């Protein structure tokens, strides 16, 4: 029996919604299933507990038939309604729906009019402009579909870091509970906080591997056991994510953690450096060449003692990419990297006034509870019709709400800001006199991504030259595993940041992580000012600041390069443009 967690239940309910719509049933039924799916994703406890305690009525909109589906999914891993719908809807139709931008209505039209049942056929038809001849499908939709198919093909199968982190945390909790006090750590790319994760690597120190292997394979999140050995096992969890577990002897903990954290390139360089000192480094320890057989290691218990025996400072995992960190560690010249505790506020957040889920009061209270001194609310400008952008009148109304909140939360401060659209022609979506009255103005590109590199660069740099623009948001526009960055000359953007004093955002949204790490390093070297942000659209997403911090650390950024490590007044003073 396949056990489903909250994410698993939510995705089946979402698919029921899609299937209902594909079948042409009442859309409101579909909307209900999707709303409940979203509520389950947002739950802070296992849906199985709600089922067990008869508390499904606590989920808004979960009527009798939705509740029945949830109960069946939790108890058996399957839902009768889902199975019936799958049987009633042709497979080809479901396939078309996998293309982002193809909703149920479009899928039905394409399927019935053109008898298209595969993504290859859909691509062919779009290229031949046969889609735009269909009722209710415009040329623009056809172009979007073609772009989505290209994006689908670009997917590497790597996971976004927040999904990998959640899976690793859940598994670590299970291992901790079932196996006692052993040391447990993530390793691999997740410990290095790479922007996407191939698989999760977990490491446990113990002399008794068998019970740990058992607990791992039997963990609730496991969908399939790929391999189960004496000291190494692999499983699949939700979304096709793989988790590898290795159990290592406690005396080799440091050497194993070093080895399995990688990167491979870092390890290779480190071993080469060891060999120059006639030392051998492997996953068990550091040895004098020739002495490894006798098991007399020079160092092995901690990473610190191994690096020290090699004459180096301990290297933070985020830097272990062979980007110069080994030479810096030898010279005792590694940068002091920014840490989460140094961040004093979040300057890019959204609320239910535009496309956020939670209201400003909830967002501000959570930001304060996180220990911040300030939070800027930066809802969208009206250019983004789809996100219900704030008209100038609505901004004005917002000030009263902010004043009330500031009275309640003092000394914490809510700042009024905007994420203002940079229109295709380079103009900003609010006039200067509106921008002048705001505390934080973040400018960003959300449209016309296909512009040439020169046009896009001029568009962005032009916005940065506006004296009221505080920061440039998500500068490359990439969406990891979904959309390539637009063409833009980042050298010119960094130069403009230095010249004008505009901050460059490091957006912690797990799909963005933008500015990317390699560019952060260049921007810091050239003296640009960075600002770390969550871009949260819901209270729990304020935690995405952690990912902005991780990305900044991967870019070697010290706290001095980051404006929101400063107290409120200093941060505000740093908005002055040159």
**Which residues of the chain form contacts with Ca ion (CB under 5 A)?**
188-189, 198-199, 201, 244
Name which of 259 and 486 has its Cβ closer to ligand DGT.
Answer: 259
| Interface ranges with Zn ion (CB under 5 A) | 419, 535
Closest distance to ligand DGT from the beta carbon of 516 (Å): 16
**86 C-beta neighbours (distance < 10 Å), count:** 14
- For residue 419, the partner it binds in Zn ion, Ca ion, ligand DGT, none, with Cβ less than 5 to 8 A by kind, is Zn ion
DSSP-assigned letter for residue 136: T
Contact 390, 350 (CB under 8 A): no
Of all helices (H) and strands (E), which one includes residue 490? helix 490-500
- Angle ∠(250,251,255) on CA atoms, nearest 5: 100
Helix axes 6-22, 80-88, angle to 10 degrees: 40
Residues in touch with ligand DGT (CB under 6 A): 188-189, 194, 197-199, 201, 259-260, 262-264, 267-268
Q: 96 near 88, Cβ under 8 Å?
A: no
Least distance from Ca ion to the Cβ atom of residue 248, Å: 14
For ligand DGT, the closer of residues 262 and 389 by Cβ is 262
Beta carbon nearer to Ca ion, 198 or 437:
198
- Smallest distance from the beta carbon of 187 to ligand DGT, in angstroms? 6
DSSP state of 544: G
Shortest separation between residue 158's beta carbon and ligand DGT, angstroms: 7
Distance CA 439, CA 241 (A): 42
Which token pair is 423? 């229109």
- The rounded distance, in Å, linking the Cα atoms of 162 and 542 is 13
By beta-carbon proximity to Ca ion, the closer residue of 71 and 261 is 261
Q: What is the dihedral of CA 174, 178, 183, 188, to 10 degrees?
A: -40
Closest CB to Zn ion among residues 195, 535: 535
- Omega before residue 263 within 30° of 0, cis: yes
Residue partners of 560: CB distance under 8 A and separation at least 6 = none
CB of 266 to Ca ion, least distance (A): 14
Closest residue to Zn ion, Cβ-based?
A: 535
Nearer to Ca ion among residue 167 and residue 443 (C-beta): 167
Q: Which is nearer to Ca ion, 198 or 559 (CB)?
A: 198
Task: State which residue, 268 or 450, has the beta carbon closest to ligand DGT.
Answer: 268
Report the nearest approach of ligand DGT to the CB of residue 259 (Å): 6
Task: Report d(CA 377, CA 122) in Å as an integer.
Answer: 41
Residue 535's binding partner, choosing from Ca ion, ligand DGT, Zn ion, none, with beta-carbon cut-off 5 to 8 A by kind? Zn ion
Work out how close the CB of 266 gets to Zn ion at its nearest, in angstroms, rounded to a whole number.
Answer: 34
What count of Cα atoms within 13 Å lies in the side-chain half-sphere of residue 426?
14
Please state the closest distance from residue 350 (CB atom) to Zn ion, in A: 6
Residue 262 binds which entry of ligand DGT, Zn ion, Ca ion, none, with Cβ cut-offs from 5 to 8 Å by kind? ligand DGT
Q: How far is CA 533 from CA 507, 511, 520, in A?
A: 5, 13, 14
Q: How many other CB atoms are found less than 10 A from the CB of residue 126?
A: 24
The total number of residues written for the chain in this structure: 578
Query: Nearest CA to 348 among 339, 340, 338, 356?
Result: 356
Q: Which of 15/419 has CB closer to Zn ion?
A: 419
Using a 10 angstrom Cβ sphere, with 0-12 exposed, 13-18 middle and 19 or more buried, the burial of residue 499 is middle
Closest approach of Cβ 163 to Ca ion, in Å? 14
CB of 162 to ligand DGT, least distance (A): 14
Residue 260 binding partner per list ligand DGT, Zn ion, Ca ion, none, with a CB distance cut-off of 5 to 8 Å that depends on partner kind: ligand DGT
Task: Provide the token pair at 184.
Answer: 């447990």
Picking from 233, 260, 226, 223, the residue whose alpha carbon sits closest to that of residue 175 is: 233
For residue 436, the minimal CB distance to Zn ion (Å) is: 21
Closer residue to ligand DGT in complex, CB, 148/267: 267
Q: Which does 322 bind (CB under 5 to 8 A by kind): Ca ion, ligand DGT, Zn ion, none?
A: none
Return the SS3 of 365.
helix
CB nearer to ligand DGT: give 186 or 571: 186
With residue 507 as reference, give the H or E element that holds it: strand 503-507
């Amino acid at each position: 029996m396949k056990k489903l967690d909250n994410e698993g239940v939510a995705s089946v309910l979402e698919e029921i919604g899609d299937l209902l719509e594909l079948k042409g049933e009442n859309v409101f039924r579909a909307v209900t299933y999707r709303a409940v799916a979203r509520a389950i994703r947002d739950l802070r406890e296992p849906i199985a507990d709600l089922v067990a305690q008869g508390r499904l009525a606590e989920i808004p909109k979960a009527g009798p038939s939705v509740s029945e589906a949830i109960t069946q999914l939790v108890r058996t891993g399957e839902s009768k309604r889902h199975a019936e719908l799958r049987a009633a809807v042709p497979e080809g139709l479901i396939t078309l729906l996998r293309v982002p931008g193809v909703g149920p209505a479009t899928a039905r039209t394409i399927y019935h009019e053109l008898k298209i049942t595969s993504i290859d056929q859909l691509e062919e038809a779009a290229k031949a402009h046969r889609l735009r001849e269909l009722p209710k499908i415009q040329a623009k939709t056809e172009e979007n579909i073609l772009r989505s198919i290209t994006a689908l093909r670009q997917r590497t199968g790597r996971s976004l870091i927040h999904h990998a982190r959640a899976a690793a945390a859940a598994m670590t909790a299970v291992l901790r509970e079932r196996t006692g006090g052993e040391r447990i750590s993530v390793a691999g790319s997740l410990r290095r906080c790479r922007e996407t994760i191939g698989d999760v690597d977990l490491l446990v120190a113990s002399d008794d591997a068998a019970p740990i292997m058992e607990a791992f394979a039997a963990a609730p999140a496991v969908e399939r056991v790929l391999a189960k050995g004496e000291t190494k096992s692999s499983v699949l969890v939700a979304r096709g994510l793989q988790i590898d577990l290795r159990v290592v002897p406690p005396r080799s903990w440091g050497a194993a953690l070093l080895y399995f954290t990688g990167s491979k390139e870092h390890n290779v360089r480190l071993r080469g450096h060891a060999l120059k000192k006639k030392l051998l480094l492997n996953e068990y320890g550091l040895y004098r060449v020739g002495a490894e057989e006798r098991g007399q290691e020079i160092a092995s218990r901690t990473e610190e003692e191994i690096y020290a025996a090699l004459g180096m400072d301990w290297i933070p995992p985020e830097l272990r990419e062979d980007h110069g960190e080994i030479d810096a560690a030898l010279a005792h010249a590694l940068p002091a990297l920014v840490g989460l505790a140094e961040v004093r506020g979040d300057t890019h957040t959204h609320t239910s006034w535009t496309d956020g889920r939670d209201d400003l009061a909830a967002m501000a209270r959570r930001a304060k509870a996180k220990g911040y001194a300030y939070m800027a609310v930066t809802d969208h400008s009206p250019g983004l019709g789809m996100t219900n952008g704030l008209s100038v009148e609505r901004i004005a109304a917002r000030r009263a709400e902010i004043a009330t909140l500031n009275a309640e939360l003092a000394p914490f401060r809510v700042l009024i800001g905007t994420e203002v659209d940079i229109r295709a022609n380079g103009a900003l979506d609010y006039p200067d006199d509106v921008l002048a009255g705001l505390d934080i103005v973040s400018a960003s590109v959300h449209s016309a991504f296909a512009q040439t590199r020169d046009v896009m660069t001029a568009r962005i740099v032009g916005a940065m030259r506006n004296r009221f623009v505080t920061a440039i948001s998500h500068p490359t526009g990439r969406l990891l595993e979904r959309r390539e960055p637009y063409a833009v000359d980042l050298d010119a953007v960094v130069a403009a940041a230095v010249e004008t004093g505009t901050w460059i955002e490091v957006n912690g949204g797990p799909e963005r992580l933008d500015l990317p790490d390699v560019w952060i390093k260049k921007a810091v070297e050239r003296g640009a000012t960075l600002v770390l942000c969550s871009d949260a659209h819901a209270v729990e997403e304020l935690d995405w600041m952690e990912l902005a911090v991780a990305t900044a650390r991967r870019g070697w950024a010290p706290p001095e390069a980051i404006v929101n490590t400063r107290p409120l007044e200093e941060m505000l003073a740093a908005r002055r443009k040159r």
